[in-house]
A and B are shown apart, each in its own frame.
Chain A
Amino acid sequence: MNKIKKPELLAPAGNLEKMKWAIMYGADAVYFGGQNYSLRANADNLSVEEIKEACNYAHKYKKRVYVTVNIAFHNEDAINLEQYLIDLYNSGVDAIIISDPLVLDICKKAVPNMEIHLSTQQNTLNYEACKYWAKEGITRIVLGRETSKDDIKEIVEKGNIEIETFIHGAMCVGYSGRCVLSNYFTNRDSNRGGCSQICRWNFKLCDEFKKEIETDIDFSMAVKDLSMAQHIKELIDLNVTSLKIEGRMRSIYYISTVISIYRKLIDDYCSNPKNYKYNKQYEYELYRCANREAVPQYFNHKPGAEEQYYLGRDEVSNKDFLGIVLDYDEDSQEIVLEQRNFFKVNDEITLFGPNIDTFSIKVEYIKDDKFELVDAARHPQQIVRIPCNKRVYKNNIIRVNFYY
């Protein structure tokens, strides 16, 4: 059997800090927005200086950096775009992700060697559209999320272009680029990065006499998250170039958890395709870190009621993330960690990270920074020690043991 081509694992990086975690936990490439022209206008986003730093950091580890320049421009938005593209190129950005072809036009003149990817905002669902963009010099297309396995297969075969698909994260319920609910409800421009996520609101459905349908359950358009964990093998077999995780606004804990799971899925399959066995346990871990159910959505069938949310979703903040390893003291066999959420003596905890096999232990004792025994780690960012006879490393993550 031919050696399998490993796809790229592409992760979001809402800021410089998140980017470093994404790379540490196994991303092959990261994407983020600059301070302008990007569809998450209200994420942290990076300054040109930070972009330069991000590229230096990523390239040191042989990882790639993509910057989103993916708004649908209004007349006045294009001011300074040319200089911005030059700045991105000079910063070492590996590719930009665009949606509006005006960027293509300006880019070709200003920085002809810049690699250009087409955003999912262009809602590309077929190979003829891919062929158009390929001729225009686009090298990769992020497909519309509505594409099924068969769609992706045919597009990869006939589109003459690299294909990137989403594998995890929140979904738009409408076709990307074709939803302006946010514009009309809140005056915030969805195609310029202002989306106020109206699709997550609760509504009433009324009959033709404007009388509410009699039920306790509100009308909802909210959709569950996407997770392709169980289909990673198939996506690799389809020869998809890049597997993309959504979530530029997500936490370090979320990013690290999600990336480490997909990293493992990809590596497990590619290193030993014959004996690959999908571990369903990952689905629960992915669910826990977002408090949201995640399903494959369009891959094998058209999503229905099962792929939506109707009753108020449990939005409690995630308390699973207990701390970050700062150091491991070999002599005393203790982990030095920075606390993120409350935990106490006798709690069952799990450790994971890019350079260890995930394992669980019981907290036998907790020492504070004065080496005095305490019954719990109560304070955010408090530095404490706990015993552990296995070697762990800086930036490993400590979480609640879900399976105890």
Chain B
Amino acid sequence: MTKLLVCPVNYKHLIGLINSDVEGFIIGINNFSMFFDLELNVNEIKEVLSLTNKEVFVVINKPLYNTDLNTIKKTLIDLSKTNITGILFDDISIININNELKLNLNLVWSQMHLVTNYHTCNYWYKKGINHGLLSTEISLNDIFEIKDNTDMKLMVYLYGYLPMFESSRELITNYFKYINKNKEENYSLYEPVRNKHYKIYEKNNETFILEDIINGIKEVKEIKENNIDYIIINGLMHEKEEFDIVINCYINALKNNADIEELANKLNNNNTGFLYKKTVYKVKI
């Protein structure tokens, strides 16, 4: 069965979804998450867990420095005493802490752009990591081939802005300092050759760039047939109303006999990212 995990836009939104047909949530945690609008502290997460029996995953995907480790240890210890479903992690330190402190947290391997093949899924599976969030830079065929060759439970990011870039530098702040102007809130990065705007923003003193929203609603049926365990849809930078339409479409798409064409028309976004496109790397042959 393919389950739908939603990354809500805020706390109220999450509460409103508790009685919906989504199977679970992905929640950011204060100061340690990137690319998720909803970030809570440990107590708030506990509160969510007391309100719902749905699956709740917490994301800790920021790069971690020595100075973060004490807080991270404390957070992981606190979370290990709850019944959260799992932790999406990026930094390898989290595995070591989980092992050394015997926290028995269910970890989800989610190194942003590195979850790209089944061999490595199997490596982590042997290390006791049972879930993996696949990278958005691999094709649908790659995804199904991974599924066929691993016992790891797999998550596919099917809707939402696509994270492309993360820098520890404050690139927007630096630019405004250089041109001697005042920085405001919202900016886009414009690339003249492609005549395209990209979302760019700073958060926690780092800089992020996003690619347009991917929408794999037409692929839901095939993903279901191939027994992918989870579909993730992310409300990052969405208004609640706008994202609710998306959530409903995906809920319906997962039902048998869904009219996918009609749902796809409703969302009117045909960006499938790399689902049908392979990246290349050798330019000279």
Contacts and interface: CB of A to CB of B under 8 A. Distances in A.
Indicate the member of B96, B145, B186, B189 with the most A CB atoms within 10 Å: B96
Interface in A263-311: 298, 302-305, 307-308, 310
Interface in B85-128: 91-93, 95-97, 99-100, 111-114, 116-120, 122-124
Q: How large is the interface on B (under 10, 10 to 19, 20 to 34, 35 or more residues)?
A: 35 or more
Given A207-B187, A305-B175, A126 B65 contact: yes
Contacts of B158: none
B63 A187 contact: no
A126 B93 contact: yes
Interface string A179-220: 111011101110111100000010111111010110101011
Given A132-B92, A205-B175, A304-B174, A42 B283 contact: yes
A305 B170 CA distance: 9
A340 B162 CA distance: 48
Nearest to B95: A132
B93 A128 contact: yes
Contact of A192 (B92, B167, B281): B281
Contact of B190 (A106, A205, A304, A310): A205
Contacts of A223: 169
Contacts of B185: 208
A203 B166 contact: no
B189 A78 contact: no
Interface stretch (A169-177, A254-262, A344-352): A169-177
Nearest to A118: B92
B284 to A, nearest CB: 6
B197 interface: yes
B281 A174 contact: no
Given A75-B146, A221-B167, A42 B66 contact: no
Given A105-B123, A122-B92, A174-B166, A187 B117 contact: no
B164 A181 contact: yes
A146 B194 contact: no
Given A126-B91, A203-B190, A179 B165 contact: yes
Contacts of B63: 123, 125, 144, 146, 175, 178
A208 B117 contact: no
Contact of B96 (A131, A173, A210): A131
A102 interface: yes
Given A177-B113, A208-B187, A100 B179 contact: no
Given A42-B284, A175-B167, 9 more contacts: A73-B120, A104-B123, A177-B111, A178-B63, A204-B190, A217-B179, A219-B189, A221-B171, A308-B169
Interface of A: 41-42, 71-75, 77-78, 99-102, 104-106, 122-129, 131-133, 135, 144, 146-147, 150-151, 154-155, 173-175, 177-181, 183-185, 187-189, 191-194, 201, 203-208, 210, 212-213, 215, 217, 219-221, 223, 298, 302-305, 307-308, 310
